[in-house]
């Protein structure tokens, strides 16, 4: 009697990703979880861009009490404010000086005849300023009188936001690793609401900057922590899809800010609206379950089992009877992976090739963040035309361009070629702005140039993030990403100051914005390609990565020998090392020829 062949037992998942694929599945739970993140984080995207409106420039001139109520604004300005010419040859009414006369001593007819201007001198404004409210009802400039010698202080609002992002990114991971992803994300969101709503009522500008930095710190910390949970509920393929969807939906999310700012011209009201809408984010983070992967990382197997059971139920999957035992096995495997001596960031600088690669990657991080923020945070000052339309074109529609460029870089030409082309093209379009901003009859040309330049800069930013995760060896991968991101934020700190360079020459900001990406793009030529390559798992493999005969060297078993000699050379650079050089130099010569 024939018997049916026994079914082979399914392999037991040893990793959390395998558990997600084989047991939980990728379906409705992941869609709902990531969809809630995208919806909830809509207004988090507003925070770094708010300064394009809240810190916008307002035309201004001296307030003259002696003329109040006697003439309309246009006539009063022509009577009391001298006409001057700036360094670029453009003429206009002085913003910081007025005629030093007693206007009350003249009749209206005498003032209209210009009798007060005969032999009149000028003096600085001593009674405050009038502000042009035709475009903005108010901004930080009018609230804190950031004019004349203090006008440069308006750029500090954006720098304070970037500084907050730096600290938010640095501390969010450590706090979330200890207290949980969603719990800390919710706490950060509540703090963000409190700081954002209180910021516009600051009695002085220093307190405003402090609260602004704290608000953006909480925004970044909450966003990063919530974003991490999305990565932790997805498999590798799911993460790629999520990144594309997240980028595509930015068109809608970023478009809501200029639309809102168009109808809300008062900067205090706009900040209150932006802060109040973050409540939507708090609601989403309040109802989102904790990350099962985090529960496993701290040994909370029962809690992880409970969350994964919910995930499976939503996805229409049945969990096996030994569900909890499977989770315990996965937790044990994770603990084994974390064992042993841990590498530190300085290990990236101990060997020559890895040191060169690290310096170049960090320089690219700086250039990418600088190039992105220099445009994003200065749309109202460096791009002529309608600031509301320009913001939507540059930040909203620009995301459409990013998608095909990103696909080509990720799947066709490779990371290094993509970085080189993206950085150089971004820099060239920045150079083109020098000519376009003077074509006042066609301001759309400048907006289009900045749109294309920012699209390539954004692609370079995404590419260097991906490249950093591939080129750095596993023991220092997270550290390399973290330090690179922090160095990049330095570029973000100085990016808001670019409009100040225009006081020297109108084209200087665009010149700097072009030189930095182009130089780093040229440097990127020296990097090894990572697309389709076996990634380095150890520091030894990291030093050999990119050498043409790397795989042959690995197969021949020279890696250990090479690593020992390399370490001796590093530790004893000034000592007698002729024996070790006999082994190290041939490999180095082969490496050089291969490169």
Tens digits of residue pLDDT in 557-579: 444 444 444 444 344 443 433 33
Q: How many residues does the chain have?
A: 595
Task: Pick the more confident residue, 437 or 189.
Answer: 189
pLDDT at res. 264 = 95
What mean pLDDT do residues 501-517 have? 91
pLDDT in tens, 240-298: 678 778 777 777 777 788 889 999 999 999 999 999 999 998 999 999 988 888 888 77
Which of 45-59, 124-138, 174-188, 459-473 shows the lowest mean pLDDT across its residues? 459-473
Q: Collapse the DSSP code of 504 into the 3-class scheme (helix H, G, I; strand E, B; otherwise coil) and give the result.
A: coil
Q: Among the residues of 472-577, which ranges form H helices?
A: 477-494, 498-501, 508-523, 539-544, 550-556, 558-571
Measured N-to-C along each axis, helices 205-232 and 181-198 cross at an angle, to the nearest 10 degrees, of 160
Residue among 488, 543, 499 at smallest CA distance from 384? 499
Classify the C-alpha dihedral 341-347-350-351 as positive or negative: positive
Task: Pick the more confident residue, 29 or 320.
Answer: 29
What mean pLDDT do residues 208-235 have? 88
Kindly state the tokens that stand for 349.
């600088």
pLDDT above 90: percentage of residues in the chain: 26
Q: Collapse the DSSP code of 138 into the 3-class scheme (helix H, G, I; strand E, B; otherwise coil) and give the result.
A: strand
Gyration radius from the chain CA atoms: 29
pLDDT above 70: percentage of residues in the chain: 83
pLDDT at res. 574 = 39
pLDDT in tens, 372-411: 999 988 888 888 888 888 888 887 777 778 878 877 877 7
pLDDT in tens, 421-452: 999 999 999 999 888 887 666 777 888 888 89
Residue among 406, 22, 484, 444 at smallest CA distance from 250? 406
Task: Pick the more confident residue, 7 or 120.
Answer: 120
CA distance 482 to 161: 19
Q: What does DSSP say about strands 60-62 and 83-85: parallel, antiparallel, or unpaired?
A: unpaired
pLDDT at position 537 over 90: no
pLDDT at position 13 over 90: no
Instruction: Provide φ and ψ at 548, rounded to 5°.
Output: -55, -40
Kindly state the tokens that stand for 354.
């890895």
Q: What is the DSSP letter of 130?
A: E
What mean pLDDT do residues 43-58 have? 87
What mean pLDDT do residues 188-195 have? 94
- Domains of the chain (ranges; CATH) run 10-57+151-339 (1.20.1250.20), 60-132 (no CATH), 343-546 (1.20.1250.20), 547-594 (no CATH)
Which helix (H) or strand (E) element contains residue 85? strand 83-85
CA distance 258 to 241: 28
pLDDT at position 507 over 50: yes
Bridge partners of 62, per DSSP, are 129
Scan for tokens 């800390």, then name that residue.
Answer: 184
């Amino acid at each position: 009697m024939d018997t049916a062949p026994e079914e082979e037992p399914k392999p037991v998942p040893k990793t959390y990703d395998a558990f997600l694929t084989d047991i939980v599945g990728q379906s409705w739970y992941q869609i709902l979880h990531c969809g809630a993140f995208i919806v909830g984080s809509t207004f988090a995207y507003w925070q770094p861009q708010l300064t394009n409106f809240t810190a916008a420039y307002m035309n201004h001139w001296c307030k003259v009490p002696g003329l109040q109520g006697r003439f309309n604004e246009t006539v009063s300005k022509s009577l009391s404010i001298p006409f001057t010419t700036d360094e670029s040859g453009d003429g206009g009414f002085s913003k910081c000086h007025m005629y030093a006369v007693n206007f009350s001593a003249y009749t209206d007819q005498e003032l209209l005849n210009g009798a007060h201007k005969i032999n009149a001198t000028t003096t600085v404004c001593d009674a405050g300023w009038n502000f042009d409210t035709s475009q903005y009802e108010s901004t930080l400039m009018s609230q804190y009188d950031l004019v004349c010698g203090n006008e440069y202080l308006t750029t500090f609002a954006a720098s304070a936001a970037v500084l907050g992002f730096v600290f938010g990114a640095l501390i969010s991971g450590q706090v979330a690793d200890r207290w949980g992803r969603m719990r800390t994300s919710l706490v950060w969101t509540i703090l963000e609401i409190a700081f954002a709503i209180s910021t516009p009522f600051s009695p002085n500008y220093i307190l405003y900057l402090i609260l602004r930095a704290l608000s953006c710190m909480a925004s970044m910390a909450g966003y990063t922590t919530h974003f991490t949970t999305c990565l932790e509920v997805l498999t590798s393929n799911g993460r790629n899809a999520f990144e594309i969807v997240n980028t595509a939906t930015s068109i809608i999310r970023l478009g809501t800010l200029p639309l809102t700012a168009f109808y809300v011209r008062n900067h205090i009201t706009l900040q209150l609206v932006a802060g109040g809408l973050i409540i939507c984010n708090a609601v989403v983070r309040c109802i989102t379950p904790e990350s099962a992967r985090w529960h496993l990382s701290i040994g909370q197997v029962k809690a992880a089992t409970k969350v994964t059971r919910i995930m499976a139920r939503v996805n229409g999957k049945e969990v096996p009877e030994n569900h909890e035992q499977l989770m315990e096995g996965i937790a044990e495997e994770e603990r084994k992976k974390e064992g042993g001596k841990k590498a530190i960031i300085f290990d990236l600088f101990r060997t020559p090739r890895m040191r060169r690669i690290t310096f170049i990657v960090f320089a690219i991080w700086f250039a990418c963040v600088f190039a992105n923020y220099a445009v994003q945070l200065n749309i109202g000052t460096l791009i002529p035309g309608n600031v509301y339309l320009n913001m939507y074109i540059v930040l909203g529609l620009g995301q459409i361009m990013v998608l095909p460029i990103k696909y080509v870089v990720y799947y066709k030409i490779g990371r290094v070629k993509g970085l080189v082309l993206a950085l150089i093209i971004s820099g060239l379009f920045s150079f083109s702005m020098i000519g376009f901003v003077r074509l006042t009859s066609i301001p759309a040309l400048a907006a289009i140039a900045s749109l294309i330049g920012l699209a390539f800069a954004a692609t370079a930013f995404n590419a260097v993030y991906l490249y950093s995760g591939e080129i750095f060896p596993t023991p220092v991968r997270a550290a390399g990403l973290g330090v690179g991101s922090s160095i990049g934020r330095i570029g973000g700190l100085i990016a808001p100051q670019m409009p100040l360079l225009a006081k020297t020459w109108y084209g200087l900001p665009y010149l700097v914005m072009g030189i930095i990406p182009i130089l780093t793009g040229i440097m990127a030529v020296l990097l090894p390609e990572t697309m389709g390559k076996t990634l380095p798992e150890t520091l030894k493999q990291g030093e050999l990565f990119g050498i043409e005969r790397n795989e042959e060297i690995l197969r021949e078993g020279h890696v250990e020998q090479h690593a020992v000699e390399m370490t001796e050379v590093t530790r004893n650079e000034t000592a007698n090392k002729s024996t070790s050089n006999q082994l190290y130099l041939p490999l180095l010569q082969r490496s050089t020829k291969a490169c």
